[in-house]
Structure 1
């Protein structure tokens, strides 16, 4: 393909939808001494394109968090945009580790950003209850064991919908000097069965999320589901704007980044 290009020669944006099992990674974002999803994806793209690249993701996931609908964007040249989808899809399985997979390739306009052009992001957290732990789905669920009052949890969760200050629900150090208001657009609970194993799936959609926000929300909702707290307690937690007011942070393994929404027509499937 091409060697290093200067910015003036970049004619469009390549966008990848990818998934990963986060168990072996120290999160999405690159870190100098850690194995990360972004590091593996960047290396694969640089091998294919034979030049350094700049990669932007829709949302950084923490260590151990999974994804099926993460999006990344890469500025590319006209020649690189001309690479057919079939060639990309043949190359990625050979270039990426077995626990990272590209599911679709898109084109977008110059300057498109997987992060800044996202209209919403959706996460699902899966919890298994019961005396027996999940076996085949154990890496993607939190085995909580104890029964949960889903109606009470839903009552509590609905109190999070709307524009709110979620400072109580994020990692304390990440909130210092940064805005903590976010808009939660929808929350829901559903029973799921995968490979014969049942779980409770909590899905949340919002414009953006703070560091550990979804996992802290889940840990807080579980306090309600166990009847250690009443649903109205969520109102007090929001008002406190203090991480100490909320419940524990749920384990990373149960969280999955499900999807990102963009403006209609912003992404065009690679031919």
Structure 2
């Protein structure tokens, strides 16, 4: 058996998350269904990263094992056919043969997310960003984003009932930028906790509007109390941008 990584992108609006689940449709369920139709057999998919209901991804991965797929020219035809079966909001970008021991989840060294906020009403970004029509001080947002680099314990930004052994995350980058009508937050880390990016964004927005000070923002991180963070920002502004590995794909 050979092992393959399959890279996908999707608009998560219609799905109850990335990973397959009972009594709700997911991105994984749609991809598994398309693969079963094309290959006429059930193929087990292992996902690299979960995303919540309504969250999007420009790049996410599965791995699967198969007896052996064709060379690249024919592989491109398989990708074309899978995309013909899949709904319009999911696309297979690549299928790549990897080492038989490669693992899409455990071999990831970092993941990068982006959260989009818009402040002037715009129907063309409403399903891909959060409408927040309040005065924001970008320097305060940027200062709060910089503060995040000083910490490793993000207990305050993990939703309750999360079964993890540690709340420690190594932040690789954290910063805001302004692009046209969007305030965009980018964060990369070796791992993320459940709800962490949305909790960070919601709490930073409070700093950006002056509802809390930067010192109070630090206090929320140091409290290790998730009731003090703001997880209220909606899912449609969140994108998984990239999953990076210790080997070349």
Q: Equivalences for 1:45-56 in 2 at 5 Å?
A: 45-56=35-46
Greater shift after overlay, 23-32 or 154-163? 154-163
TM-superposed CA distance for 1:47, in Å, is 2.0
* 2:13 alignment partner in structure 1: 23
Give unpaired runs (5+ residues) of structure 1.
Answer: 1-9
Structure 1 residues 138 and 97, CA gap change in structure 2 (3 angstroms): same
123, 144, 148: which is aligned to 2:132?
144
Q: Is the 8 A contact 1:140 1:253 kept in 2?
A: yes
49, 54, 63: which is aligned to 1:64?
54
Structure 1 residues 208 and 94, CA gap change in structure 2 (3 angstroms): same
28, 43, 54: which is aligned to 1:38?
28
Give unpaired runs (5+ residues) of structure 2.
Answer: none
TM-score, with structure 1 as normaliser? 0.87
Q: Equivalences for 1:150-229 in 2 at 5 Å?
A: 150-161=138-149, 164-174=152-162, 176=163, 178-193=165-180, 198-229=181-212
Structure 1 residues 49 and 70, CA gap change in structure 2 (3 angstroms): same
**Distance (whole Å) between structure 2 residues aligned to residue 168 and residue 252 of structure 1:** 19
Aligned length: 248
226, 248, 261: which is aligned to 2:231?
248
**Distance (whole Å) between structure 2 residues aligned to residue 206 and residue 177 of structure 1:** 16
Greater shift after overlay, 218-227 or 83-92? 83-92
* 1:3 alignment partner in structure 2: none
Q: Is the 8 A contact 2:174 2:187 kept in 1?
A: yes
**Distance (whole Å) between structure 2 residues aligned to residue 162 and residue 143 of structure 1:** 29
Q: Is the 8 A contact 1:117 1:262 kept in 2?
A: yes
Q: Is the 8 A contact 1:13 1:107 kept in 2?
A: yes
TM-superposed CA distance for 1:178, in Å, is 3.4
TM-superposed CA distance for 1:233, in Å, is 2.0
TM-superposed CA distance for 1:172, in Å, is 0.8
> Residue 230 of structure 2 aligns to a residue in which SS?
coil
**Distance (whole Å) between structure 2 residues aligned to residue 161 and residue 235 of structure 1:** 11
**Distance (whole Å) between structure 2 residues aligned to residue 29 and residue 127 of structure 1:** 26
TM-superposed CA distance for 1:204, in Å, is 0.4
Structure 1 residues 120 and 81, CA gap change in structure 2 (3 angstroms): farther
> Residue 91 of structure 1 aligns to a residue in which SS?
helix
Q: Is the 8 A contact 1:184 1:205 kept in 2?
A: yes
The two structures, once aligned, show a CA RMSD in angstroms of 1.6
TM-superposed CA distance for 1:177, in Å, is 5.9
